[in-house]
Structure 1
Amino acid sequence: MEGREEIKGSKPTFPLSFWEVTMAFTVVMGFVLGLGGVYLTMPASDYSFLKLPRSLEDLHILRDHLEIYTSDYTLQVLVGYCAVYIFMQTFMIPGTVFMSLLAGALFGVLKGVALVVITATAGASSCYFLSKLVGRPLVISLWPDKLSFFQAQVISIPCSVAQRRESLLNYMLFLRLTPTLPNTFINVASPIVDVPYHIFFMATFIGLIPAAFLTVRAGIALGELQSVGDLYDFNSIATLFLIGVVSVTPTLMSKPKL
C-alpha cells in the first residue's frame, strides 16, 4: 500500500519556484515596458503591419512598410529592431532568422551583419543571465539528454587554467558554428554547466558572424527566397562545418590520451 500511495502521489510538479517565476515575470515586464516605450516614440501612423514575422510572406510585408520609415526614422527603427531581437533571444521565441533577413533587406550587408551579431550576442547574454537565475529546473526538465552530453563535453576539457580557457573557447566556437546543439539550448545551458561568461560572450560574438553573413546577404535578395531552407545550401553548410572543425581541432588534440 505504501508503495502504491507513493507512486500515486508522485505527480509531476512545476519546475520553477514562486521566487523564480516572480523573477522571470519581472524581466518579462521590463522588456514589455521597454518595447512599449519604443512604440510610443514612433511617429503617428498605422502600425497594424507590425508583428513578429513567422513566414517569408510576413517578412515581405514588414520589409515593404519599414523601408519607408528607415530612411526618415532610422534611430527609432534601429532601437525597435534591437529591442525586439533581444527580447526574442532572451525568451527563446522562434523567428530570429527572419529578423536577420530583415536586417539585410533594410540595412545592407555590413551594417546588417554588425546589427545582427551585436543584437544576437546581447540577446544570448540576456538569456544566459536569466538562465543563471531560473533556468536550471527548466533545462533539466526540457533537455535532460542534451544537458548530460553538453556537461560531459565541458567536464572532459583539460583542467589546467590556461588549457581549459583555450580549449573551452574552441569548443564553444565549434558549437556556435555548427548545428551540433541548438543555439537556444547553448544560451540557457551554458551557465548551468559552468561555462564562464567571458568565454560564452567571445564564442557567441565570433561564432555567429559566418551564419549572420549568410543570412543577412540572403535578406538583400529577399524576393528570390522561396523558403527558409534556401538560406543554407550544401556549400554554405559545408563551409560552416569546416570552420567549426578547424576551431575545435586544438581542443581535440589537447585532450589527454587514455
Structure 2
Amino acid sequence: MAAIFIVSTLLLGGTLWLALPTLEDEDRPQLKIPKSFVELQALNTLLKKYRDIYPFRIVVCYVITYLFLQAFSLPGSMYLSILGGAVWGVPRALPLACVCVASGASLCYLISAALGPALLTIPKFATRLEKWTEKIRSQKSNLISFLIVLRIAPLPPHWVVNVICPHVGIGLVPFWISTALGILGVSVIHTTIGGGLDEMTSADDFHLISWRNFLGLSAVVVGVLIPVGLRYFYKSELAEVQEVERDDEDTMLEEGEGTESGDQVLAVGPHARGKGKGAQQPLLLTDEDSDDFLDDDDYADDDGDVILEAGPALVVKDDDDDGSSTSSRHSHPL
C-alpha cells in the first residue's frame, strides 16, 4: 500500500509539473489542495486567471488531482467540486465532478480488490465483511438503488463502501454507475455553491445544511426508491397470477383433462369395422406382407405404452396352389 501511494504521488507531481502552465512567482504559494475557505478562494482566483489561456491543461490538472484524492480517500473532494462550479459553472462542472468521483472511487475499489484479501485473514475484518455480505445479498434485486442510497446517506463513510464492495460480489460496472448516480445530488449542491463563490465572504455562506438542500436530496432518494417500490408491487401481483395458474393446472389434472406429458386427447380414430355406405373397409395383406409388417421394429411396442384402441382388422389372403385365395382375419393393434 505504501508503494502504491508513493508511485501515485510521483505520478500526480509529474503530471502537475508537465501540465501546469508556468506560474508567476507570486502565484506559486496559492497552488495547493484547498483545505479551508481561504485557500479555496485563492485557488479559484488562480485557476480563473489561467483558465482562458490554458483551458486543456487546467482540466487535466483538476481531474488528476480529483482522482488522487478519491483513490486514497483523502479530504478535499468537496472543495474541488465547489471549485469546479466556480471555474466552469454548474452545467460543465457537474458531470465532470460525477465522473471524477466515480472513477477515483473505482481506483480505490481496485486497490482494495488487490490488497484486501490479506486483511480478510484477520477474524475481526472477516466478521464485519460477513455482515455486509448478508446485507448485500438481501438487496440483490435492488443492488443499484441500495448502493445509491448508501452514497447519499452520511453513514457509513464513502471510503468504507469503496473498500468493501469488491469483496461482497459487486462488480466494477454496477459500482461505477451507482457511485456516479449516488453522488449526483451532493455534487449539484457543491457545484451550485461554487457558482456563487465569488460573492461569499466566509465558509458560513456555503449553507451546506439547509431546507433547500435537504429537500433536494430527499427528492433524489424518493426517485431512487420508486423503481424498488414498483418492483415489489408487481412482484406480489405476479406471484398471485402464478398461484392462480398453478391451481388451474392442478384442477385439470384432478379432472383427468391432461396426461403426464401435458397432452390432451382431442379425437379418436374410426372404429375397426363398420356397416353401411362410407364405412371403413378392412385392409388386405398377404401372409408375407403381414409377417414383415409385424416384425418391423418401428411398430414394436417396447416402450411400455398402453394401447387404448385397436386399429382396423387385417384380412390376410392365403394363395392356394390352384390360384384360388382364402382369407383369414387377424386383428392386430397398430
- Shorter-chain TM band: 0.7 to 0.9
Preserved contact between residue 85 and residue 191 of structure 2 (Cα < 8 Å): yes
Residue in structure 2 matching 1:187, options 145, 162, 171: 162
Preserved contact between residue 152 and residue 217 of structure 2 (Cα < 8 Å): yes
Residue in structure 2 matched with residue 150 of structure 1 by the alignment: 132
CA deviation string 1:198-228 (max 9, x = no partner): 1111111222222111110100111435338
Please show how residues 61-210 of structure 1 align to structure 2 within 5 Å.
Answer: 61-135=42-116, 147=129, 150-158=132-140, 164=141, 167-210=142-185
- 1:238 and 1:146 map into 2 onto residues whose CA distance is 33
One-letter amino acid of the structure 1 residue matched with residue 211 of structure 2: F
Residue in structure 1 matched with residue 214 of structure 2 by the alignment: 237
Preserved contact between residue 121 and residue 205 of structure 1 (Cα < 8 Å): yes
One-letter amino acid of the structure 2 residue matched with residue 175 of structure 1: L
- 1:70 and 1:204 map into 2 onto residues whose CA distance is 28
Change in Cα spacing, 1:141 to 1:129, as seen in structure 2 (3 Å) is: farther
Larger Cα-atom Rg? 2
- 2:222 and 2:116 map into 1 onto residues whose CA distance is 29
Matched, 1:220 2:195: yes
Task: Report the TM-score, using the length of structure 1 for normalisation.
Answer: 0.77
Change in Cα spacing, 1:231 to 1:86, as seen in structure 2 (3 Å) is: same
One-letter amino acid of the structure 2 residue matched with residue 189 of structure 1: I
Change in Cα spacing, 1:220 to 1:246, as seen in structure 2 (3 Å) is: closer
Deviation at 1:237, TM superposition (A): 2.2
- 2:44 and 2:7 map into 1 onto residues whose CA distance is 28
Matched, 1:38 2:16: yes
Preserved contact between residue 12 and residue 65 of structure 2 (Cα < 8 Å): no
Q: Which has the higher helix share?
A: 1
Deviation at 1:234, TM superposition (A): 2.7
- 1:55 and 1:142 map into 2 onto residues whose CA distance is 36
User: Percent same amino acid among aligned pairs?
Assistant: 26
One-letter amino acid of the structure 2 residue matched with residue 40 of structure 1: L
What SS does the aligned partner of 1:53 have? coil
**Structure 1 stretch 142-151 or stretch 231-240: which is displaced more?**
142-151
Preserved contact between residue 171 and residue 251 of structure 1 (Cα < 8 Å): no
Deviation at 1:125, TM superposition (A): 0.9
Task: Report the TM-score, using the length of structure 2 for normalisation.
Answer: 0.61
What SS does the aligned partner of 2:34 have? coil
CA deviation string 1:64-120 (max 9, x = no partner): 112111110111111000000000000010110000010011000111112111111
One-letter amino acid of the structure 2 residue matched with residue 90 of structure 1: A
- 1:62 and 1:141 map into 2 onto residues whose CA distance is 45
- Aligned positions, number: 228
Change in Cα spacing, 1:28 to 1:241, as seen in structure 2 (3 Å) is: farther
Residue in structure 2 matched with residue 15 of structure 1 by the alignment: none
- 2:130 and 2:223 map into 1 onto residues whose CA distance is 25
What SS does the aligned partner of 1:94 have? coil
Change in Cα spacing, 1:25 to 1:74, as seen in structure 2 (3 Å) is: same
- Give structure 1 regions of 4+ aligned residues with deviation exceeding 3 angstroms: 135-150, 248-257
Q: Which has the higher strand share?
A: 2
Deviation at 1:240, TM superposition (A): 1.2
Change in Cα spacing, 1:107 to 1:134, as seen in structure 2 (3 Å) is: same
Deviation at 1:33, TM superposition (A): 2.3
- 2:175 and 2:161 map into 1 onto residues whose CA distance is 9
